[in-house]
Amino acid sequence: MTHGFMKVAAGIPSVSVAHCEYNRSHIEQLIAQAAEAQAEIAVFPELCLTGYTCQDLFFQQHLLEEAELSLMKLADATRSLNIISIVGLPLSHGGALYNCAAVIFKGKILGIVPKSYLPNYKEFYEMRWFASGLQVANTTIGYAGQTVPFGRRLLFQTSSCTFGVEICEDVWAPTPPSSEMVLEGAEVIFNLSADNDVVGKNHYLQQLLVQQSARCLCGYVFASSGYGESTQDVVFGGKAFVCEDGHLLAQAKRFSTEEQLLISEIDVERVRNERMTNTTFTSSLHKQSTYDTIDSLALFDRTDMRLTRPLQPHPFVPEGEELDRRCEEILQIQTLGLAKRLVHTHVETAVIGISGGLDSTLALLVCVRAFDLLGKSRKGIVGITMPGFGTTNRTYTNATNLMKFLGVSIREINIADACMQHFNDLGIDPDRHDVTYENCQARERTQILMDAANQMNGLVVGTGDLSELALGWATYNGDHMSMYGVNAGVPKTLVRHLVEWVANGMDDSNCRTTLLDIASTPISPELLPAAGNDIAQRTEDLVGPYELHDFFLYHLLRFGFPPAKIYFLARQAFSKDQYADDTIKHWLKVFHRRFFTQQFKRSCLPDGPKVGSCSLSPRGDWRMPSDADATLWLEQCDAI
């Protein structure tokens, strides 16, 4: 296992109905391929050693004996392979026939699990041949020349995870065995299935598996029968899925005549972290186990793993149609949050500083939507542009044009004279462009906004975003402060997409052009004197690329990952052409240093709506001492 990732495989072998030797040889080949690909556990379809569609042939003793012999051979063939394999076969025990999953490793049969729920409707009549394993108590049986644990209440332990096994219909039950297994400690579930294909069923099944992985906070690996099964009445198109905590990581190609081996990785560390922070899950844990856990003694040390699962470089920004849905939903959340605050405070105006940058633009768009929602005149929105020493013609023009096109009230207050007076009062050299020079401008602007809000019975709408809060890239009691921060839950990489999304839906071509130009303007606080229309400060040159910082932030907040794992993920999410390894290391350390030292700014944040899975509100998602020591994190950054 590398950084918590466990490589898994779901195999769809070619099948010859009732020809055990043929089936065994094809399964054996796929196991060898999975081992070559460094998979730790491979699962195969239900009754794959005999074929699922044997029907009354399951009562033939010769077939049952051949299935047992095939399992013996298959187990023997794995002696030199460092992989756990899960295969399906019929097994006779105590006068009953069971549909079973056998777990094998290095020649040993670790355990055999019978199917709990047997379909007996429509085209499936399993109760004609098999008995349910629901009433089977855990025991040991003699099978395939070994003494083997047998029963439905078995879990299996490796160096990477604890896993459980269920079979096909089990996951369709009102209370699937997997729901019980995860409360007993299973982190990954493997399902051996023979799922036929009819119109619409595949999509429903996919949703079912994804939701089961979400409900159980687990990895879920599913393999179903494919080409070669009898097509007498139904067709088995061959399905395989790998899911994790509500996400589909990989799926096989359906209706293929070729064998398939689907490989992906389950992030077991993520599963464990999710469970620790989910009190509903922890409150449901069984206090006294009714399961037997079998230690397979399987040790996996994968130090050179390359991930095959999808890894988004921009985890806050979905793709395709989902981006449209996400943008609309986020804006609705921001809008409703602000609307409630406006009504509750009985204010007449919303006061907002407009710089011509991304954040203030998004906040203004939210204000407009909130006033429209409440049926208020947009003239009640007072946009104040406050040019200073670093303001460029481009941002100034965009700010004033945007306010004009949106129909809000416009005020302009130049801060240069007030700042010079302040410098003179404190004996500050205005030619010394240090942090005092910069912060004076930010605080002057905030003072203007606050006093203007008092003057007009208004409320100051904050513009700072989630990424700035994470890095502390805000002047304390300057742009850090407002009466309601509508962007507090929106990361910088998403702000641009939101502005562009609104722009593309605009009927007014002038407004659309202005919004798109704002979205393409380099991010800058514009606090240092500008040379003509050229921005003197580019934020990402100073604190680092926001797409890296948002990537770091997501994995730190959402899953509690350490620096070494975040670095591992970043190297795989971004190409070397985008960021060299040393560049990622550098900004990763900057991120952690700033994240810890700037907590004091987050500890006194104004109210603002949470819009996604990550938030830094000190009253909600993130409660951290302002003086926490970053040594452990910085030392790991140095050790990478």
Burial label for 626, CB within 10 Å (0-12, 13-18, 19+), is middle
Three-state secondary structure along 313-381?
CCCCCCCCHHHHHHHHHHHHHHHHHHHHHHHHHCCCEEEEECCCCHHHHHHHHHHHHHHHHHCCCHHHE
Contact of 44 with 224, CB cutoff 8 Å: no
| Burial bucket for residue 374 (CB in 10 Å: 0-12, 13-18, 19+) | middle
Return the C-alpha torsion angle 174, 177, 178, 179, nearest 10. Answer: 60
Q: How far is CA 217 from CA 9, 179, 198, 212, 269, in A?
A: 19, 10, 29, 8, 11
**Radius of gyration of the chain from its Cα atoms, rounded to whole angstroms:** 30
Q: Which residue of the set 7, 48, 115, 274 is catalytic?
A: 115
115 is catalytic: yes
User: Does the active-site annotation cover 68?
Assistant: no
Classify 183 as helix, strand or coil: helix
* Residue 115 CB neighbours (<10 A): 28
Residue 100 is among the residues annotated as catalytic for this protein = no
Tell me if 112 sits within 8 A of 102, measured CB to CB. Answer: yes
Of the residues 168, 218, 614, 637, only one is catalytic, namely 168
Which residue(s) pair with 147 in the sheet? 142
- Pairing of the two strands 409-412 and 188-193: unpaired
3-state secondary structure of 109: strand
Hey, what are 526's tokens? 């514009």
Phi (first) and psi of residue 512, to 5 degrees: -60, -45
Are 433 and 405 spatial neighbours (Cβ–Cβ below 8 Å)? no
40, 46, 169, 526: which one is catalytic? 46
Tokens 């095939």 locate to 70
- Which residues are marked as active site? 46, 115, 168
